[in-house]
């Protein structure tokens, strides 16, 4: 009797298992057919009068998953051709500034389904050796993308390197340029902190910030110190304005991007003529890290590298006051040129 009951139970489990496997295979086939029936549409066609509609989650996952495989170099030339993928020159570049939040801005913009980012800093326009390799070398450094998507790269050294504006102008005189800035003194200290950490990793000694930022002979601000010089934003911007009109620049508030990123990202979407797609859903605050992290979909989240948000060393208040007083007239001119005012002391 017990043997018959066990045999009957095994038979029922087999039937149920077969039904479950059959249902799963049907769902897989069904989803595959839906993907074939509903390909990712060109961005210009999708966002007409109904521009506020959400991109289907499946299309977003398709972009993230498929392009990730191509970026890893796992695709054949035939697969690339069949999927209509190309390596495009960037239509927008984050040109600076160093320690202003360029990486955070790039990663956050990549939340938009019409944006594809170059993961590494290319340093094409600011590096003579790379620039001599030619524009096709630069193009081959770009990620694979669909023709309707915008490729964006970031190399913060571009902003302060003298030859770069002319070189970018020769590539594309109508390119859109993004500059992300922070309060100049804070940015300079952050710049110093990054260098200091690198020295400490190599067990090397380094001067205190005060000794670098202030000339010991004159007791005035040391403009030869690169961290100080980089924070004189208007001096660098004036060089760019010899080649590009101010309308081709968008200034991003790096301090606000840390505390309240969505409004800043919405301004960038508008500047790049992108339909609004980044929402509060895509950004969530990580209390442990003290920064906003990114949510691409229900399964894929991402936080910035642990090196972000380094603790700054204590700096003599008199030096901070002296620096802020020094930067003040340059800041006022920067506000006037860009049309954007910041609450910098």
Binding-site positions for 3'-phosphoadenylyl sulfate? 99-103, 182, 190, 292, 308-312
By CB neighbour count within 10 A (0-12 exposed, 13-18 middle, 19+ buried), where does 180 fall?
buried
Decide: 227 and 323 in contact? Cβ < 8 Å. Answer: no
Residue holding tokens 């956050």? 108
Closest CA to 108 of 237, 292, 344, 239: 292
Q: What is the CB neighbour count within 10 angstroms for residue 182?
A: 23
Closest CA to 191 of 139, 228, 138: 228
Decide: 131 and 125 in contact? Cβ < 8 Å. Answer: yes
Decide: 118 and 57 in contact? Cβ < 8 Å. Answer: no
Closest CA to 154 of 256, 252, 267, 281: 252
Buried b (16+ CB within 10 A) or exposed e, 96-122: bbbbbbbbbbbbbbbbbbbbbbbeebb
Decide: 144 and 71 in contact? Cβ < 8 Å. Answer: yes
Positions annotated as catalytic residues are 99
Residue 214 DSSP symbol: B
């Amino acid at each position: 009797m017990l043997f018959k009951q066990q045999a009957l139970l095994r038979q029922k489990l087999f039937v149920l298992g077969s039904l479950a496997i059959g249902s799963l295979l049907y769902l897989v086939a069904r989803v595959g057919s839906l993907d074939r029936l509903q390909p990712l549409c060109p961005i210009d066609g999708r966002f007409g009068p109904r521009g506020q509609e959400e991109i289907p989650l499946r299309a977003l996952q398709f972009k993230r998953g498929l392009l990730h495989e191509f970026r890893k170099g796992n695709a054949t030339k035939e697969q690339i051709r069949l999927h209509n993928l190309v390596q495009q020159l960037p239509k927008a570049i984050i040109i600076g500034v160093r320690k202003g939040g360029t990486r955070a801005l790039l990663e956050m913009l990549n939340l938009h389904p019409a944006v594809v980012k170059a993961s590494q800093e290319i340093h094409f326009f600011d590096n003579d050796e790379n620039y001599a390799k030619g524009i096709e070398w630069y193009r081959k450094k770009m990620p694979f993308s669909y023709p309707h998507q915008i490729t964006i790269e970031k190399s913060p050294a571009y902003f302060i390197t003298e030859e770069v504006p002319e070189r970018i102008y020769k590539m594309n005189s109508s390119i859109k340029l993004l500059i992300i800035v922070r309060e100049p003194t804070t940015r300079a200290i952050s710049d110093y902190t990054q260098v200091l950490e690198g020295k400490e990793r190599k067990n090397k000694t380094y001067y205190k910030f005060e000794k670098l930022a202030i000339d010991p002979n004159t007791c005035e601000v040391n403009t030869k110190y690169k961290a100080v010089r980089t924070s004189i934003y208007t001096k660098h911007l004036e060089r760019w304005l010899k080649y590009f009109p101010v309308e081709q620049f968008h200034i991003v508030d790096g301090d606000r991007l840390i505390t309240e990123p969505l409004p800043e990202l919405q301004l960038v979407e508008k500047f790049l003529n992108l339909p609004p797609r980044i929402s509060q859903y895509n950004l969530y605050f990580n209390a442990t890290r003290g920064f906003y992290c990114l949510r691409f979909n229900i399964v894929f989240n991402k936080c910035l590298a642990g090196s972000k948000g380094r603790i700054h060393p204590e700096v003599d208040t008199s030096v901070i006051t002296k620096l802020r007083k020094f930067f003040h007239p340059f800041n006022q001119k920067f506000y006037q040129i860009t049309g954007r005012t910041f609450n910098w002391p």
